[in-house]
Amino acid sequence: MRWTPDGLSSDVEDRRGQSGGGFGGGGIGLVGFVILVVISLVTGRNYIGAYFAGGGGTHVQQGAPRAASPQEDRSAQLASFVLGDAQDTWTRILARENIRYPRARLVLFRDYTQSGCGAAQSATGPFYCPADQKVYLDLGFWDQLKRFGASGEFAQAYVIAHEIGHHVQNVLGIERKVRAMQQQNPGARNRLSVAMELQADCFAGIWAHSTADRQILEQGDAQTALRAAAAVGDDRMQKMARGYVTPDSFTHGSSEQRMAWFNRGFNRGQVSACNTFGGGS
C-alpha cells in the first residue's frame, strides 16, 4: 500500500502511555483471564465484559509507561493514515446520498483502557463502540494476526477499515435496528450478528476498491486483506480454540464468508452490494 508516515491525526486518541500492566487485588489473574477470552471466542458471548461489569476484575495495576518502538510508531501512523483515508472515502460516498458522515475516533491503548461500552482489553482484539463512536485498538494485535497467518500492512488496513465499517452502520442506523431485532428475537441473535460483521467486511472492501481507483493499492494487497479476513473467521478461531466447529454459535462468519463479502465490496464498490441481511452470495 502506498502511503507516507506523517504522525497521528486529530482523529487518533493515543492512550498508550496510560494503559496498565496487569490485574491487581482479588482478580482472576492472567490465566483466568485467558480462559475467559477463549470461552468468549467459542461461545460468542462477552464473558470478559460481564466479569468487569460485575466488579470481579477489581483494578488494573498501572505500570511505568513503555516507550514505543520504531515499528510500533510506524504501525500507529499507518493506522492513522488508514483511519483518515477510510473516513474521507465514506464522507464522499455518503454525501452523494445527502448523508452527513460524523468522523469516528481511533483510541490506541496498551493492555487495558475504558470505553463507552465498558472495559477494553487487548486480548479481545479491536472493536468499535457505538456508544462513543470510537474504535479501540491495541497495536499488539498485529502480532496475533501474524500468528493467525495474516501479515502485512494491508492486513492491518483491512482490520481498521472493517471497524470503520461498523461506524458506517451506526451512521446509517443499521446498528440500532439490528440490536432492536436481536432483543425482539433472541433466537436470531447470532445470525444477525454474523450479518452485521459480514456487512462491515463488505464495507471494508468498498474502501479497498477506492484505494485501487486512486492507485494507493499495490500488487498483492487485496490478497493480503483476504488472508486477514480468513484468519479471523469463526470456523478457524473455534478450530484453534477447541479443535472443532459449531456453526450455530458463529457471531462473525466463516473464513469463506468473510473473504467472499470483502471481495464483493472490493469488486463492486457500491453500498447496495453489501446487503448481507437480504440474501446474496
Q: Do the domain assignments include residue 3?
A: no
Do residues 147 and 210 both lie within one domain?
yes
Radius of gyration of the chain (CA): 18
Q: Do the domain assignments include residue 131?
A: yes
Do residues 57 and 136 both lie within one domain?
no
Dist CA 220 CA 217 (whole Å) = 9
What is the percent of the chain where pLDDT is above 90?
67
Do residues 43 and 169 both lie within one domain?
no
Whether the CB-CB separation of 156 and 142 falls below 8 Å is answered with yes
Do residues 131 and 31 both lie within one domain?
no
Q: Do the domain assignments include residue 6?
A: no
Q: How confident is the model at residue 22 (pLDDT cuts 50, 70, 90)?
A: very low
Which domain does 210 fall in, by range? 12-18+68-274
Q: Do the domain assignments include residue 281?
A: no
Q: Which of 61-75, 81-95, 118-132, 220-234 has the lowest mean pLDDT?
A: 61-75
Q: What share of the chain is helix, strand, coil (3-state, %, to 5)?
A: 55, 10, 35
Give me the chain's average pLDDT, please: 85
Whether the CB-CB separation of 114 and 22 falls below 8 Å is answered with no
Whole-number pLDDT of residue 41: 52
280 pLDDT exceeds 80?
no
Q: Do the domain assignments include residue 279?
A: no
Dist CA 200 CA 126 (whole Å) = 13
Cell numbers representing residue 89 in the block: 472515502
Dist CA 151 CA 221 (whole Å) = 11
Whole-number pLDDT of residue 279: 55
Q: Do the domain assignments include residue 1?
A: no
Number of domains in the chain: 2
Q: Do the domain assignments include residue 280?
A: no
CA-based nearest residue to 202, from 239, 158, 150: 158
> What is the per-residue pLDDT across 75-92, written as a single tens digit (0 to 9) for each?
999 999 999 999 999 999
> What is the per-residue pLDDT across 111-122, written as a single tens digit (0 to 9) for each?
999 999 999 998
Do residues 95 and 226 both lie within one domain?
yes
Do residues 184 and 259 both lie within one domain?
yes
Do residues 128 and 257 both lie within one domain?
yes
Select the highest-mean-pLDDT range: 103-112, 118-127, 144-153: 103-112
Whole-number pLDDT of residue 61: 42
Cell numbers representing residue 7 in the block: 504522525
Do residues 117 and 236 both lie within one domain?
yes
Do residues 210 and 233 both lie within one domain?
yes
Do residues 54 and 138 both lie within one domain?
no
Can you tell me which residue has the cell 492512550?
15
Cell numbers representing residue 211 in the block: 484505494
Do residues 125 and 259 both lie within one domain?
yes
Which stretch of DSSP H or E encloses residue 105? strand 105-108
Whether the CB-CB separation of 23 and 33 falls below 8 Å is answered with yes
Q: Do the domain assignments include residue 101?
A: yes
Cell numbers representing residue 100 in the block: 452527513
Whole-number pLDDT of residue 66: 66
CA-based nearest residue to 152, from 220, 237, 246, 64: 220
Do residues 185 and 79 both lie within one domain?
yes
For residues 170-196, give the mean pLDDT. 96
Which stretch of DSSP H or E encloses residue 53? helix 47-53
Residue at 230: amino acid letter: A
Dist CA 224 CA 132 (whole Å) = 30
| Helical segments of 131-188, H only | 141-147, 153-172, 174-184
